[in-house]
């Protein structure tokens, strides 16, 4: 019963992904692809003026149901959170969010947005963003 509930949640996030699209002038960006499944996810972050909180987040790309649903769930989880807290988010945390058992191949699908997030967090702020906060 609980497994069916999680499967339906995955399908709901796939059909109607949350935070899908693009941000005007994102502060940070990350991209990842999964050649095994053809998933491609780009993540864009808008930070607060102090660059310590993720004010907004969007993702774009194509992928399987697990990949898109994971990106949707991840963006809901990190929106409005401090970067320091988001940086502690782990692969196991995302797997718990997804809530269904994943085969080794499907883990890669679920982690596509997670890897894109890591790239975005590691990206150096742009000169324009640095000037805004000064």
Residue 71 is predicted with a pLDDT of 97
Q: Which residue has the tokens 């000169």?
A: 127
Look at residue 124 in the predicted model and tell me its pLDDT.
Answer: 75
Instruction: Report the pLDDT value the prediction gives residue 50, as an integer from 0 to 100.
Output: 94
Question: Cα torsion at 90, 17, 5, 39 (round to 10°)?
Answer: -60
Sorted by sequence, the CB contacts under 8 Å of residue 26 that are 6+ apart come out as 44, 45, 46, 58
pTM: 0.87
pLDDT of residue 47: 97
Whichever domain contains 29, its CATH number is 3.90.1010.10
pLDDT at residue number 103: 86
Q: Can you give the residue range of the structural domain that contains 26?
A: 2-133
Which residues of the chain have a pLDDT value below 50?
1, 127-129, 131, 133-134
Number of structural domains, the chain?
1
């Amino acid at each position: 019963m609980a497994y069916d509930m999680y499967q339906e949640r995955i399908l709901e996030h796939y059909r109607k992904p949350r935070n899908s699209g693009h941000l005007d002038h994102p502060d940070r960006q990350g991209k990842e692809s999964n050649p095994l499944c053809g998933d491609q996810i780009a993540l864009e972050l808008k930070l607060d003026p102090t660059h310590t909180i993720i004010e907004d987040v969007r993702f774009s790309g194509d992928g399987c149901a697990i990949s898109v649903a994971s990106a949707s769930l991840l963006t809901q989880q990190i929106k409005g959170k401090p970067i320091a807290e988001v940086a502690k988010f782990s692969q196991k945390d995302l797997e718990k969010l997804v809530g269904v058992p994943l085969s080794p191949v499907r883990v890669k699908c679920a982690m596509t947005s997670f890897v894109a997030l890591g790239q975005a967090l590691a990206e150096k702020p742009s000169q324009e963003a640095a000037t805004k906060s000064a």
